[in-house]
């Protein structure tokens, strides 16, 4: 934006214009840095910065046009109008057009100039509105398609494909930064019996309610997924095994005490959990998942409704070698 205005100023070379541009750039940079400041930044602050930037740009163009005596600067009002249209600030557009018309009148009334200004700005505003709506619809469709591709339709958690992708990303990040990473795998005990006794619709309700319970009792940084059937997965970044064990054991206790399917036939059930921490011996996410899955199997073999820790990689690898 500043570059476009600067080029026009260069063409007309006015001292007032250059001074105004200098002050405008300083003010704009202050607003941008304010918005980037994490301590001050918020949705409301960013919105206020955006509004101030539009007002500042409009005032600058108006002052430059009047100060230089050249109403052609008013046509640059399309810049703040473009911003306002993209963010659907239609009230600002009316104000900008009004300010531009005032600038044309102050510089020197020329009916042809006024009509030309309003016509050009009106046509460009209309085209920008069409562009804005097209981009909005395109983004909405893209978000919808991404949601379908990555989300489990029943539970609302991420699906197995997205889990595999996130697992690879977290595995690589943990290896690169040498930070702890844990994985928990768990499933519903005797879920087949629940389906056979109460029906598959009840089974689906239980899966949905359990998914909501998992989401509400885990941290924002944790990644919950439906791993398959009645089995769920939980990726725990920046988490050591002891902390992960305490987290999932607390979740297990919550599930044990919770009453599910309350509106129909209330049901209680338990979950078995295997939890493992990424180890140097894990050469791939598959190795990591396999170790954790064996811990889940051990939890089920040990009587269910419990959490089992996965042995660390070297111990696991040595057992595989002994088997060979």
Contact 30, 81 (CB under 8 A): no
Residues 6 or more apart whose CB falls under 8 angstroms from that of 51 comprise 89, 92
Contact 296, 273 (CB under 8 A): yes
Token pair, residue 25, equals: 């750039």
Q: What is the DSSP letter of 199?
A: -
Q: What is the DSSP letter of 300?
A: H
Alpha-carbon dihedral 52, 58, 60, 61, rounded to 10 degrees? 160
Residues 6 or more apart whose CB falls under 8 angstroms from that of 86 comprise 128, 132, 135
230 catalytic per annotation: yes
Find the catalytic residue in 71, 230, 231, 308.
230
Numbers of helices and strands, H then E, in the chain: 12, 5
Catalytic residues: 230
């Amino acid at each position: 934006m500043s570059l476009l205005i600067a080029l026009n100023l260069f063409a007309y070379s006015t001292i007032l214009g250059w001074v105004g541009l200098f002050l405008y750039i300083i003010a704009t940079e202050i607003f941008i840095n304010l918005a980037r400041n994490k301590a001050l930044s918020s949705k409301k602050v960013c919105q206020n910065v955006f509004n101030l930037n539009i007002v500042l740009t409009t005032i600058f163009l108006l002052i430059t046009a009047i100060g230089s005596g050249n109403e052609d600067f008013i046509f640059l009002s399309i810049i703040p109008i473009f911003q306002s249209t993209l963010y659907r600030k239609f009230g600002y557009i009316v104000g900008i057009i009004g300010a531009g018309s005032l600038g044309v009148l102050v510089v020197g009334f020329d009916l042809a100039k006024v009509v030309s200004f309003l016509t050009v700005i009106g046509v460009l505003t209309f085209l920008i509105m069409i562009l804005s709506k097209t981009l909005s619809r395109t983004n909405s469709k893209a978000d919808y398609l991404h949601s379908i591709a990555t989300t489990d339709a029943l539970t609302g958690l991420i699906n197995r494909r997205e889990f595999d992708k996130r697992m690879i990303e977290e595995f690589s990040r943990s290896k690169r930064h040498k930070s702890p990473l844990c994985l928990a795998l768990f499933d519903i005990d005797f879920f087949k019996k629940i389906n056979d006794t109460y029906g598959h619709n009840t089974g689906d309700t239980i899966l949905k309610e359990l998914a909501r319970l998992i989401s509400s009792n885990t941290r924002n940084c944790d990644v919950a997924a439906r791993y398959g059937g009645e089995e769920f997965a939980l990726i725990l970044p920046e988490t050591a095994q002891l902390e992960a064990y305490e987290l999932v054991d607390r979740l297990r206790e919550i599930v044990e005490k919770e009453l599910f399917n309350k509106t129909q036939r209330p049901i209680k059930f338990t979950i078995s959990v295997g939890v493992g921490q990424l180890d140097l011996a894990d050469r791939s996410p598959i190795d990591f998942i396999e170790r954790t899955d064996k811990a889940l199997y051990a939890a089920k073999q040990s009587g269910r409704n419990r959490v089992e820790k996965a042995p660390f990689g070297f111990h696991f690898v040595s057992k595989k070698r002994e088997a060979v």
